[in-house]
């Protein structure tokens, strides 16, 4: 049986090593420790990636299916991929802050990821993770590209607006289902229109907000876009 080991990273964070190249640890956050998972990449990885989960009050965690499949796709390029639980989710400390403090959680994760690998970062978020993470990532010079999955634009009781996208100059990928109940494609097209090039919008026929039954198509869109901009000489294996 594989044994787990324990050590302290360069950033001073306690971590527990688990089998199959996955590290479970806590990184420092603005409201306390944030539970995190790192899928280790290749030694000569060209980029690192961060994947953010959907709304924690509705069951969103690092183990969400969309988040997991996005991680697997990016990890297939050899990138180290970080996932973390927002404040108050899973074992993360703090309390949910309606998306305000969670922007700072994303910044803390980006800080840790860059301090650990010193590589350009690809940001990826799903639903709440996209809406929250884009706010932190768009203005960050360490971000090489952005992936927004199931970008929420029409959620009852919660307002999601994206005026900041007009200043977001990195390559951007938006992927949504044609049947997404929280992101009608007409509304999403207006959001995407705010952003300058380069940008790409992929609408998956028959898919809902969670890409149920259509996760391979979501992965294919992420894989194709990532290969186009960041891995022209590599072949993703996931």
pLDDT digits (tens, 9 = 90+) for 169-209: 999 999 999 999 999 999 999 999 999 999 999 999 999 99
- Please provide the average confidence, as pLDDT, over all residues in the chain: 90
Least confident of 10-14, 25-29, 39-43: 10-14
Does residue 13 form part of some domain? no
Does residue 236 form part of some domain? no
**Per-residue confidence (pLDDT) for residue 232, from 0 to 100:** 52
pLDDT digits (tens, 9 = 90+) for 87-122: 999 999 999 998 899 999 999 999 999 999 999 999
Does residue 120 form part of some domain? yes
Residue 111 structural domain:
47-85+98-230
pLDDT of residue 13 exceeding 70, the answer is: no
> pTM for the full model?
0.89
Nearest to 168 by CA among 136, 127, 125, 208: 136
Does residue 152 form part of some domain? yes
Count up the domains in the chain and report the number. Answer: 1
d(CA 78, CA 92): 27
Tokens of 191: 């959001």
Does residue 33 form part of some domain? no
Does residue 15 form part of some domain? no
Residue 141: give its domain's CATH number.
Answer: 3.40.50.1820
Does residue 170 form part of some domain? yes
């Amino acid at each position: 049986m594989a044994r787990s080991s324990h050590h302290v990273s360069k950033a001073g964070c306690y971590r527990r090593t688990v089998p199959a190249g996955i590290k479970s640890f806590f990184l420092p956050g603005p409201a306390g420790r944030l539970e995190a998972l790192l899928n280790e990449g290749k030694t000569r990885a060209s980029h690192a990636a961060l994947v953010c989960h959907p709304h924690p009050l509705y069951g969103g965690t690092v183990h969400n299916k969309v988040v997991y499949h996005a991680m697997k796709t990016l990890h297939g390029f050899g990138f180290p991929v970080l996932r973390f639980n927002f404040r108050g989710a899973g074992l993360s400390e703090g309390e949910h802050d309606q998306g305000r403090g969670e922007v700072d959680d994303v910044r803390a994760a980006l800080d840790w990821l860059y301090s650990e690998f010193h590589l350009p970062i690809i940001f990826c978020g799903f639903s709440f993770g996209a809406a929250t993470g884009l706010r932190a990532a768009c203005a960050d010079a360490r971000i090489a590209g952005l992936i927004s999955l199931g970008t929420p634009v029409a959620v009852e009781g919660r307002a999601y607006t994206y005026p900041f996208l007009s200043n977001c100059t990195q390559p951007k990928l938006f992927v949504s289902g044609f049947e997404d109940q929280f992101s009608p494609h007409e509304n999403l097209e207006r959001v995407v229109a705010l952003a300058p090039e380069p940008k790409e919008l992929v609408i998956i026929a028959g898919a809902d907000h969670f890409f149920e039954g259509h996760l391979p198509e979501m992965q294919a869109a992420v894989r194709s876009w990532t290969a186009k901009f960041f891995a022209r000489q590599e072949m993703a294996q996931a």
